[in-house]
Amino acid sequence: MKLTLIVLLGSSLAATTLGWKYHYTDTTMNWTQARQYCKTHYTDMVVIQSQEENDYLVSLLPNRSGSPYYWIGITKNHMNETWTWVGNNSTWVGNESWAENEPNNNHSTEFCVEIYVNTNKNRGKWNDEKCSNQKYVVCYEAQCNATSCGRGTCKETTENITCHCELGFKGHRCQTGFLLTSPTSITCEATGSWSGPRPICTIYKQALLAVAGCGAFSGFCCICFCWMKHRKRKKLTQVRQPEEETSPSSEVHG
């Protein structure tokens, strides 16, 4: 997986993958402030969807020698609720996610989560914490935008973005589908007839083949025309040659 680190004015750092872009702070804040920070500057607090993603994220973050560590975007409002990722409402928690004896909901007030990033055995593990505690935060920035997938819906993954194409469209970015091959609009005129032919949608490949076919046909016609012209010129030269051969002898006789 490719990785680039970018320093942003010393207040926030970012790591880029082909898909999501991660940002982390070097200042601490409580969980509510942390979420607000992420939503203001990026998309939301980081969402982790698999153990692989968890490990990859940990590999990007600088180690801390002790608390505070980093807030991640999973929380709940009270004890009986399911842990939920605020960025996408998913509820993924892996078998290996929590540190030993966690979540312990110490004092029944630990509804936010930090991730340990250190060199100890609990590296990459999670701990439920009191939301008012001060910690660094990891945010994510979505890479999908309105133009990412042409005629399709963009889905974020760790390594890339995936396009789910509309019916009839395909290709890496859903750009292969139908093509308008006639005027975009026609008007009903005062005479009661349409101003032009009805717009037609052609399958992109067929349109491409038609253009290529026309090109090839034009090329063929051009070659034929040139060849015929060449033949005609050659014939004319052959007819003229005997006349030229006879003309010097007539001069001698004169």
The least CB distance from residue 52 to Ca ion, in Å, is: 24
- Looking only at the bridges linking them, the beta strands covering 152-156 and 12-16 are unpaired
Beta-bridge partner residues of 165: 152
Residue 155: strand, helix, or coil: strand
156 binds Ca ion (CB under 5 A): no
CB nearer to Ca ion: give 63 or 67.
67
Size of the site for Ca ion (CB under 5 A): 5
CB nearer to Ca ion: give 22 or 116.
116
Non-local (6+) Cβ contacts of 187 within 8 A are 194, 195
The least CB distance from residue 122 to Ca ion, in Å, is: 12
From residue 153, give the alpha-carbon distance in Å to each of 17, 22, 162, 163, 169: 20, 22, 8, 6, 11
CB nearer to Ca ion: give 53 or 102.
102
Residue nearest Ca ion, Cβ-based:
128
The least CB distance from residue 99 to Ca ion, in Å, is: 8
The least CB distance from residue 89 to Ca ion, in Å, is: 23
* Stretch 86-145 residues interacting with Ca ion (CB under 5 A): 102, 104, 110, 127-128
- Looking only at the bridges linking them, the beta strands covering 44-45 and 84-85 are unpaired
CB nearer to Ca ion: give 101 or 250.
101
Q: Hey, which bits of the chain come out as E strands? A: 4-8, 12-16, 21-25, 44-45, 70-75, 84-85, 112-115, 126-129, 136-141, 152-156, 161-165, 178-180, 201-203
The least CB distance from residue 176 to Ca ion, in Å, is: 51
What is the sign, positive or negative, of the torsion defined by CA atoms of 70, 73, 77, 78? Answer: negative
CB nearer to Ca ion: give 127 or 148.
127
- What does residue 132 show for φ and ψ, rounded to 5 degrees? -85, -5
CB nearer to Ca ion: give 28 or 88.
28
The least CB distance from residue 82 to Ca ion, in Å, is: 17
- Binding positions for Ca ion, rule: CB under 5 A: 102, 104, 110, 127-128
